[in-house]
């Protein structure tokens, strides 16, 4: 849940890809499966510790992706009211960014950034939002869905490293005018300058990139690619959109 890219194409279609950097002692997540939440069909990998997730796809429209931290690094508390991964799934009881930001009780939840992309048959283009919670206020920020985006967690990467990652991403964009899962997955695996601490795939003493998840949303269907790096397994799902 620590590096995310968004690539738009054809107004209503996009590719959202996430590298999950996690504690080396944390149990591996379950691969992407189908779940029912609030009578909605949701696909996501499940974290076995908290039973939540960091990335989810709803066949009726909303793709969500979570990053740790909001605008700056914070000192984690010992206990929180609810896991951020469960908070993400609570979104599907609201299903509108504006309603979720206004009415959900975020108090007692660790700071986060939540990316929300909506595209369905009733829209002429993707609706893209960034929701931030810093333990004091909620910010809901509409983004230009026609522009590629990259996010890196402020809890793991300094502002200098984040700028470097934006530079690598822009260099990649300059060489790739056609977006496909294969090309962006290559970037998510090999982007960087050779640093095991700060490349797109990290291998620190206590933190590693444990998985990569790519959601390729087209008008008629959505392809989900989930790679468990630690266990060296690859899972692919094809979902027919409602």
Predicted confidence (pLDDT) per residue in 46-69, tens digit: 999 889 999 999 988 899 999 999
- Residue 1: the pLDDT is 66
- DSSP calls for 125-185: S-EEEEEEE-SS-EEEEEE-TTS-EEEE-TTTS-HHHHHHHHHHHHHHHHH-SS--HHHHH
- Residue 177: the pLDDT is 87
Q: Domain residue spans in the chain? A: 3-240
pLDDT tens per residue, range 84-131: 999 999 999 997 999 999 999 999 999 999 999 999 877 889 999 999
Angle, CA of 231, 90 and 6, to the nearest 5°: 60
Q: Does domain 3-240 have CATH number 3.60.60.10?
A: yes
Q: With a cut of 70, which residues of the chain have pLDDT below it?
A: 1, 242
Q: Which residues of 200-227 are buried (b: 16+ CB within 10 A; e: fewer)?
A: bbbeeeebbbbbbbbbbbeeeebebbbb
- Residue 179: the pLDDT is 95
Angle, CA of 22, 28 and 33, to the nearest 5°: 115
Q: What is the model's pTM?
A: 0.96
- Residue 19: the pLDDT is 98
């Amino acid at each position: 849940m620590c590096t995310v890219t968004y690539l738009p194409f054809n107004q209503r279609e996009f590719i959202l890809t996430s590298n999950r950097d996690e504690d080396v002692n944390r149990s591996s997540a379950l691969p992407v499966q189908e779940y029912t939440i609030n009578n909605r069909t949701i696909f996501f990998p499940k974290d076995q510790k908290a039973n939540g997730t960091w990335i989810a796809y709803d066949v009726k429209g909303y793709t969500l992706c979570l990053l740790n931290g909001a605008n700056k690094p914070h000192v984690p508390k010992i206990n929180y009211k609810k896991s951020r991964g469960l908070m993400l799934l609570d979104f599907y009881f609201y299903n509108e960014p504006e309603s979720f930001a206004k009415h959900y009780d975020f108090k007692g939840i660790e700071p986060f950034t939540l990316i929300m992309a909506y595209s369905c048959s009733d829209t002429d283009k993707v609706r893209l939002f960034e929701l931030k919670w810093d333990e004091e206020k909620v910010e809901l920020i509409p983004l230009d869905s026609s522009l590629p985006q990259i996010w890196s967690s402020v809890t793991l990467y300094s502002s200098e490293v984040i700028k470097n990652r934006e530079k690598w991403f822009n260099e990649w964009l300059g060489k790739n005018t056609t977006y496909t899962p294969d090309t962006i997955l290559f970037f998510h695996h090999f982007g960087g300058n050779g640093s095991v601490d700060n490349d797109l795939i990290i291998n620190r003493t206590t933190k590693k990139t444990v998985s990569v998840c790519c959601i390729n949303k087209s008008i008629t269907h959505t392809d989900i690619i989930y790679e468990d790096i630690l266990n060296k397994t690859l899972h692919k799902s094809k979902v027919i959109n409602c």
